């Protein structure tokens, strides 16, 4: 309840156990504040002091997050709209000889890759 003020609430061991159980079941801090007749912030602080954290599946209210697709959300939307590349670009690992070229001469390596650099990147490259 947001209108509650005053001194901090005293929690019994039984209330701590029930608070933890309800929170881990997925109950909201607003529900818990109402249930224990205290503030949401007091519930949050008590959970923090108890070291209680929800597993990611309970916190999000569903299954664990999937890994982000290559290209991210913008690329996915572009594909759905038919304006982006239809096939995902496959990234190939750099061979050892290409990495040796980078170590020996970073500027020549980047020229070989045909990469445009920003001014600050060019300045950093000159320091290498």
Is this structure's pTM higher than 0.85? no
d(CA 34, CA 97): 65
The tokens for 12 are: 């019994």
Supply the pLDDT for residue 45.
Answer: 92
Confidence of residue 1 (pLDDT cuts 50, 70, 90): very low
The tokens for 35 are: 């249930």
* Three-state SS at 83: coil
pLDDT tens-digit readout, 65-95: 555 555 666 777 777 777 766 555 555 666 7
Nearest-5° Cα angle at 67, 86 to 76: 25
pLDDT tens-digit readout, 92-111: 666 777 777 777 887 777 77
Q: Please say whether the beta carbons of 107 and 125 come within 8 A.
A: yes
């Amino acid at each position: 309840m947001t209108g509650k003020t005053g001194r901090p609430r005293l929690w019994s061991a039984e209330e701590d156990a029930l608070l933890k159980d309800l929170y881990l079941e997925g109950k909201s801090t607003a529900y818990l504040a109402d249930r224990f007749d205290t503030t949401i912030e007091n519930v949050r602080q008590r959970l923090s002091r108890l070291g209680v954290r929800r597993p990611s599946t309970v916190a999000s209210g569903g299954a664990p997050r999937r890994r982000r697709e290559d290209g991210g959300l913008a690329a996915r939307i572009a594909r759905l709209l038919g304006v982006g590349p239809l096939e995902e670009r496959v990234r190939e690992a750099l061979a050892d000889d290409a990495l040796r070229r980078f170590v020996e001469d970073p500027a020549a390596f980047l020229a070989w890759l045909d990469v445009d650099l920003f001014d600050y990147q060019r300045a950093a490259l000159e320091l290498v």
